[in-house]
């Protein structure tokens, strides 16, 4: 049987959320922690929650911006806060994917924007989703919201 690899697009944010929740559980980044917004996060392409430098934002707000708005800026800010860099966070994503047995998944960024080498399969995404919900059921309360407002946007 041939496994069809696909470009996971915004579904990458499921692994971003998983790694973020893991860091919160370990006490590395509490939900109310104030986050520094880098220029890289501020200038993120695609879907955004419109964070910006010098404007207050917490991990809890970024969680909502990631899971409700699909904010690429939130994904980058989360990655930089949790791991110190986007590259370090991607390493964590790939480590966790391997630990989950996601054999056909490889991440290159935390936001899902198309990049060469970022692939997954429907079965791997289903396994990731199941693991995310089992380990961190609070994701359903957040992701189930229809909208989220940050800074009047």
Please report, for the domain that includes residue 118, its CATH number.
3.40.710.10
Tell me if 124 is assigned to some domain: yes
Predicted local distance difference test score (pLDDT) of residue 2: 62
- Region for residue 27 given its phi and psi (left: phi exceeds 0; alpha: psi -120 to 50; beta: otherwise): left
Predicted local distance difference test score (pLDDT) of residue 6: 81
| Contacts for 82 with CB less than 8 Å, ≥ 6 apart | 19, 20, 23, 28, 29, 89, 92
Predicted local distance difference test score (pLDDT) of residue 110: 98
Tell me if 131 is assigned to some domain: yes
Tell me if 126 is assigned to some domain: yes
Paired with 111 in beta bridges are none
Tell me if 151 is assigned to some domain: no
Mean pLDDT by 10 residues, the chain (153 residues): 76 97 97 96 96 94 97 98 98 98 96 95 96 97 93 89
Tell me if 91 is assigned to some domain: yes
By residue range, what is the domain housing residue 28?
9-143
Tell me if 152 is assigned to some domain: no
Paired with 124 in beta bridges are none
If one counts the domains in the chain, the total is 1
Tell me if 111 is assigned to some domain: yes
Tell me if 2 is assigned to some domain: no
């Amino acid at each position: 049987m041939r496994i069809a690899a696909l470009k996971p697009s915004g579904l990458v944010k499921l692994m971003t959320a998983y790694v973020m929740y893991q860091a919160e559980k370990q006490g590395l980044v509490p939900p109310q922690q104030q986050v520094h917004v880098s220029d890289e996060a501020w200038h993120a392409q695609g879907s955004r929650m419109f964070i910006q430098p010098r404007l207050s934002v917490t991990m809890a707000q970024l969680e909502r911006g990631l899971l409700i708005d699909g904010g690429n800026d939130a994904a980058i800010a989360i990655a930089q806060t949790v791991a110190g860099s986007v590259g370090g966070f991607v390493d964590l994503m790939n480590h966790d994917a391997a630990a989950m047995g996601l054999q056909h998944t490889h991440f290159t960024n935390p936001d899902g924007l198309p990049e060469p080498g970022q692939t997954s399969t429907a079965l791997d995404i289903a396994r990731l989703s199941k693991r995310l919900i089992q380990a961190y059921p609070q994701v359903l309360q957040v992701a189930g919201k229809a909208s989220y407002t940050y800074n009047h946007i």
